[in-house]
Amino acid sequence: MTGSPGDEAGTDGPALIVAYLDMLAAERGAAANTLAAYRRDLDHYLAALTASGRDPLVTDAGEVRAYLADLETQGLKASSAARRLSCIRGFHKFLYAEGFAEADPSAPVGGPRRGRTLPKVLSVAEVDDLLRTARERAVASETGDAPGERRRAVRMLCLLETLYATGLRVSELIALPRSAATTKQRYLVVKGKGGRERLVPLTDLARGAMREHLDHLSGEGPFLFPADSESGHLTRQAFARDLKVAAAAAGIREDRVSPHVLRHAFASHLLQNGADLRIVQELLGHADISTTQIYTHVLDERLKSMVRDLHPLMDEPAEPDTAPI
């Protein structure tokens, strides 16, 4: 007798989650961090269903709405609740498409309202201060007695110059191969989310900082930023921690700086100087331009400035309120 799809994969919640995550990894190339976040969200959702005595294969839209309402009472931000709903929708859509469930209960559920959140961005002057301070610390370390301090200062300068020059995701930056510092090309080929490759240009300052950093590396290894971590390269947590120290040295509040903030600065500063939104999309590695459109507030300000500066009537004197006697 032929079994149902649920019989083959197991109909218990954890097995269904594993099947869904396996599909995301195999068919969509989801990254390990994405899969881990989805697992946390779905474990939380399944625990709520179990507490209500519901099965994910036969639950309904009312139960999904109740779960979202409960998240709101717990103080979860609307953006986080929307991300959680997106994960749940993908899960139920998968169960329905694969024949595990007879319906998708999440389809009629509307998402929570989200305000438009603008990214934190440093000004051009602040980034200049950050980079100048990093250069000064690298130069000052040349006369120090601690080789380790010299290596860390040169590494931080390389990280900052490369990040601001390329707008890489922090996961892409810390995992750069050692060959990135020796390429004769003026660009890098980066593999981003979903295995998609893109070209990112390198500035002369970034290339110089890479070569200087490479001169201070010892031994052989595949990574430009090696470290004694499970991955074999610098962790994002370690970089974020050291970046806050560099920000404080430059007189910038630590809570205003992170690797992602510098990625935002890269994009915003390009748009401020006239870059096309599609070009910025390609450089950032966004699959959908709607993701890049969070930066349109920069374009709005630039358009207003252009109208003020270029419109032929903007300099016309205002007419008096009353006619002269």
H or E element at residue 197 = strand 197-201
Among residues 77, 83, 178, 260, which one is catalytic? 260
- Rounded to whole angstroms, how far apart are CA atoms 269 and 258? 16
Using alpha carbons, list the distances in angstroms from residue 14 to 11, 93, 223, 263.
Answer: 8, 17, 36, 36
Q: Is 201 helix (H, G, I), strand (E, B) or coil?
A: strand
Among residues 54, 169, 213, 269, which one is catalytic? 169
Among residues 84, 150, 263, 269, which one is catalytic? 263
The alpha-helical segments, DSSP class H, found in the chain are 5-9, 13-28, 32-51, 61-73, 78-97, 124-140, 147-166, 170-174, 204-215, 236-249, 259-272, 277-284, 289-292, 296-310
Torsion of CA 262, 267, 268, 274, to 10 degrees: 150
Q: Is 46 helix (H, G, I), strand (E, B) or coil?
A: helix
Q: Is position 260 annotated as part of the catalytic site?
A: yes
Q: Is position 169 annotated as part of the catalytic site?
A: yes
Alpha carbon 154 to chain centroid distance? 25
Alpha carbon 173 to chain centroid distance? 12
Among residues 193, 198, 216, 302, which one is catalytic? 193
Between vectors from CA 258 to CA 256 and to CA 264, what angle results, nearest 5°? 90
Give the catalytic positions in this structure: 169, 193, 260, 263, 286, 295
